[in-house]
Every structure is written in structure tokens, then in C-alpha cells.
Amino acid sequence: MSSSIKLDKDEEGKCVDSKFYRSMIGSLLYPTASRPDILFSVCLCARFQANPKESYLKAVKRIFRYLQDTPSLGLWYPRDSTFDLNAYLDADYGGCKIDRKSTSGTCQFLGNMFISWFSKKQNSVALSTTEVEYISSGSCCAQVLWMKQKILDYGIDVGTIPIKCDKSH
């Protein structure tokens, strides 16, 4: 889905069959396990399952076309990767047009292997970009500390873990 497209409540849009829309969303949830490039778009479209409109269906069909055009994309786990744990995070400030809540996103790499990620709308409305990034950082740190402990359970010490935040906003 294009990053310029912002889905919001489409009160006057033409309704579509909700059973059909839900089945399309369900079909898209399975490939998100190996295609993190579609995760945010699929989850955004899934928010509108209660009352789907034609504009939402158009966005879902666009995701299917993207998958059809990019069959060779996916996760790759090479054997010779290192065990350096790295984390990245970002958040948007008030990105949801409906309730003005921000979305946090993080991803973790073990060497050059993509092993964990999430994108979630924050529970509260933030009053500043600093607050949004702080909430996102807390979620990322909690995930990284859990992962570090799990790796340590296997007898591998990963040492310090760099967490990188996008500072473009």
C-alpha cells in the first residue's frame, strides 16, 4: 500500500460484503509471517472489518497485486550469520486520522537475520513526538531484554545491544 494513502472512516462509501472482506483479510494474515513488508498494510485494513467499504477493498486488492508482483521477496536466514542482536524502532505522531493515536514499530535482527518485529497502535494519545518515541522505545527495550535472556538461556552472551531510532522527524 502506498505510504501516501491514509485509510480513515469512510462514512459515505459504498458498503461491500463483510464476509468476503474478512476472508480476504484472513488470507493476507498468513503470509505476514514471512512477508513483514505487508504487515502494516494488512493490519491497517483489518481495522475496518466491522463495516468494510469499497475504498478499503481497493486497498486490500492492491496488497494482493503487490504479492503477485513480488513472489521472490521474503525472509532469508543464511548459515554464516553472526549473533549480534540489533534493534530498530520508529513511531509516527498521531498517524491514525480517526483517533489521533500514534503507531509504534520495532524490528530486531540477529546478525543479518530478521527475527522479530511488531507494529502496534499505541494505547493512548501522545502529546508530543518525544512521548511517542519514549513509548516506542520502552516497547522495543522490553522485547530486546526478553530476547537477550532467551539467547543467554542457550549459553550465548550477546553483550550490549544497540537500539537505533529514526530521527528524521
Read off the pLDDT of residues 95-112 as tens digits, 9 standing for 90 and up: 666 777 887 888 888 888
Q: What does 152-165 look like in DSSP terms, one character per residue?
A: HHTT-------EEE
Residues above pLDDT 70, as percent of the chain: 91
HSE-up of residue 99 (Cα within 13 Å, Cβ side):
10
Helices (H) and strands (E) in the chain, counts: 4, 4
90 or 10, higher pLDDT:
90
**Rounded to whole angstroms, what are the CA distances from 34 to 8, 22, 71, 92, 158?**
27, 21, 12, 24, 25
Residues in the chain: 169
**Cross-strand pairs, 91:** 104
Per-residue model confidence (pLDDT) at position 156:
83
For the cut 80, the answer to whether the pLDDT of residue 94 exceeds it is no
Angle, vertex CA 21, rays to CA 19 and CA 26, nearest 5:
90
What would the CATH number be for the domain defined by 85-165?
3.10.20
Give the tens place of pLDDT for each residue, 122-143: 777 877 777 878 878 888 889 9
Phi and psi at 34, nearest 5°, equal -115, 0
Give the tens place of pLDDT for each residue, 41-76: 888 888 888 888 888 888 899 999 999 999 888 877
Tell me the average pLDDT of the chain. 82
SS3 state of residue 90:
strand
Per-residue model confidence (pLDDT) at position 167:
60
Per-residue model confidence (pLDDT) at position 39:
83
Per-residue model confidence (pLDDT) at position 27:
93
Return the domain boundaries, the chain.
18-69, 85-165
Per-residue model confidence (pLDDT) at position 69:
94
Assessment of whether the complete model's pTM goes beyond 0.75: no
